[in-house]
Structure formats: structure tokens, C-alpha cells
Amino acid sequence: MSTFVLIPGAGGHPGYWSRLVPALERRGHTAVPVDVPQHDESTGIEDHVEIVLAAVAERVAPHDDPPVVVAQSMGAFIGPLVCERIPVSQLVLLNPMIPAPGETAGEWWSATGSSEARREAGWEGFDVVRDFFHDVPEDLAAEILAGEDREPSERSFAEPWPARAWPDVPTAVVAGTDDRIFPIAFQRRVSQERLGLTPYEVPGGHLVALSRPEELVDQLEALVVPTRSDEPRTKKFVTRVENPAAGSA
């Protein structure tokens, strides 16, 4: 069985994993959801990495097998940095914002052409319920929307990604085929451009861990215990980008 370290997306609320954790545990795995205070202006990327490392140290013993790091959306700015600091068996990027070295999360949107991709997919403008919660059970969506406000901080969008290259660990991208924030055609393109990877595709939207937890566990297990015909794809070297915004679409 495997240990999955779960890094949430923007805002860092561990409640995003509330349906995935029991789904993993029912199959005998260990799940470590991390509370990452991206909403707190007093904390930055390095603080968030340290928080994840502390959670791993608390739950993963030195003699245990290295964990699988799963980073959702904006969590992709944190997961690779964690993988530079501790042994891991694999990094899984889930509906990710794949960063380039030196790029901020604020620059990422124009550098990747995400707004144009959303318009091409028919998702003009922005609506939280329509775009994030369209396939999440209504009662769960209502509960989350009525809960704690975890709007990501300005600092979390302003800090450059400090890595000079992608970590030397097996990396896979998993993308929801009905993601309205990062449409699947967009994810295929960006994954290829930035990592040389073809995403593994699962049914569901941007919050797939809430809407399709069992299907997501199926995919995670397939990545962790690959067959000869379905081995995890690994990343390519990512060169440093001095001015990421210059390539904006």
C-alpha cells in the first residue's frame, strides 16, 4: 500500500480532499492531506513547503516507502519543491498550474494562454458555481461555499517559482476531461510544452477529488502500481525562463 501526500490548490484548504481521503483509506492506503495557508499574506512558498515537509515527517516514518505527492491546481507550485527536499516515489500533478522556473502564479495565466483556451472551450467569463462546482454533489458544494473563506493571498500570486528546473522524480499529469477552468485541450498542450507529458485523463471537472473520488483513486493506483504496458510517464528537463510573460498568448 502507498502513502499519498495531498497538497490542495489555491487557498490551501485540506477539505478539498474530504472525499478522496476515505476512498484511499478504504483501499488500504495512507492519506496525508495538508493544510497550506495560501490565504495568509504572512506566509510564502517556502513556508508552504516547510508545512508540507512537517506533515510528512509527522505521518511518514523513515523506514516507510517514499510517499506519492499529489498536487492539485496551484499546489503544483509547491509539490515539486517538496520533491526536491525529501525522497518521494512519484509526483502526480492534478488539474495543475504547471509552473516554469522564475514564473509567478499571477504570470502563469497569460503565459499559458489560459483565458483564450477557456473562451475557445465556450467558458466565457467566470462563475464559481458553474466553473468549479458543476459536477460536485449539490449539498457538498453548498457546504463548502458556506464555509471558511480561503481566498488565496496576493503574495501567493506574486512570488516567483524558485526552482531552476523540474525535480528528478517520476512525474505524471492527471487531468479532468470536464475541467472548465483548465479545459482538457489546454492541459494537453501545456503538459506537452512544459513537461513533455501527455496527461492521464479522468472523468470530472476541476475539483475532481470532490466529484469523482473513486475514479481518481483508480487512476492513482494505476500510476503507483503500473503494468508493463502502462508505466508512468516521466518529465523532461525544464530550462529556466528569464521572462515567462514574454511568451504570453
Asked if the structure places residue 249 within a domain, the reply is no
Counting beta carbons within 10 angstroms of the beta carbon of residue 139, is it exposed (0 to 12), middle (13 to 18) or buried (19 or more)? exposed
Asked if the structure places residue 38 within a domain, the reply is yes
Cα angle 78, 146, 43; round to 5: 30
User: What is the pLDDT, as a whole number, of residue 72?
Assistant: 98
Asked if the structure places residue 246 within a domain, the reply is no
Q: What is the pLDDT averaged over residues 68-91?
A: 97
For residue 98, what is its C-alpha cell? 504547471
Q: Identify the CATH number of the domain in which residue 148 sits.
A: 3.40.50.1820
Closest CA to 209 of 71, 98, 26: 71
Q: What are the tens digits of pLDDT across the range 166-197?
A: 999 999 999 999 999 999 999 999 999 999 99
User: What is the pLDDT, as a whole number, of residue 124?
Assistant: 86
With cut-offs at 50, 70 and 90, classify the pLDDT of residue 129. Answer: very high
Q: What is the pLDDT averaged over residues 12-17?
A: 93
Q: Which domain holds residue 155?
A: 3-236
The pTM is what? Answer: 0.90
Q: What is the pLDDT averaged over residues 3-11?
A: 96
Domain total in the chain: 1
Asked if the structure places residue 243 within a domain, the reply is no
Q: How many residues does the chain have?
A: 249
Question: Cell 521572462 maps to which residue?
Answer: 243
Please, what sign has the CA dihedral across residues 37, 43, 46, 50? negative
pLDDT: which is higher, 225 or 176 = 176
Number of C-beta neighbours around residue 39 at 10 A = 17
Give strand ranges (E) for the chain.
3-7, 30-33, 68-72, 90-94, 171-176, 200-202
Asked if the structure places residue 248 within a domain, the reply is no
Asked if the structure places residue 106 within a domain, the reply is yes
- Comparing 20-24, 70-74, 145-149, the range with the smallest average pLDDT is 145-149
